[in-house]
Amino acid sequence: MFENALCLLAEGDAAAAPSPWNMMPLLLAIGLLFYFMIIKPDQKRAAAQRGMREGLKKNDRVVTAGGIYGVVTNVQRDTNEVTIKVDEATNTKLRITLDSIARVTSDESTGEGGTKPGTAS
């Protein structure tokens, strides 16, 4: 009887404390899921942003991170600086960092302060 109690006690301890090796596949699956759902898409987005900024050229219509629409008038890659024209009527220009360009817009869209498609800049 005493031996049966020891066996039950020993089995209870084994069930309460699983081996770390038994949890390894679960941890590996969680790590892979984390990589493919969070890290990989972020790397793709960063590469696309980097490519967009490297391809930036004069007369591209852009939107800054602050939401300002404009047309690129000058790109200085050595100083990491871009000059954009935000208003044609007053010839207002802004000097901003290259990293503050959020996206390049298509020619069909017009911005609030940007130029209209088809007009010379």
The sign of the torsion formed by the CA atoms of 13, 14, 16, 21 equals: positive
Within 10 angstroms of residue 81's Cβ, the number of other Cβ atoms is 13
The per-residue pLDDT for 20 is: 81
The per-residue pLDDT for 8 is: 53
Non-local CB neighbours of 99 within 8 Å, separated by 6+ positions: 53, 80
22-80 residue pLDDT tens: 889 999 999 999 999 999 999 999 999 999 999 999 999 999 999 999 999 999 999 99
The per-residue pLDDT for 110 is: 47
Q: What is the mean pLDDT of the chain?
A: 81
Pairing of strands 81-87, 61-64: unpaired
Residue 3 banded pLDDT, cuts 50, 70, 90: low
Cα gap 10→16, rounded to integer Å = 10
Q: What is the pTM of this model?
A: 0.61
The per-residue pLDDT for 1 is: 53
The per-residue pLDDT for 61 is: 95
Residue 16 banded pLDDT, cuts 50, 70, 90: low
Residue 10 banded pLDDT, cuts 50, 70, 90: low
Burial category of 3 from C-beta neighbours within 10 Å (exposed 0-12, middle 13-18, buried 19 and up): exposed
In total, the chain counts a number of residues equal to: 121
Contact predicate 83/93, CB 8 Å: yes
Contact predicate 113/87, CB 8 Å: yes
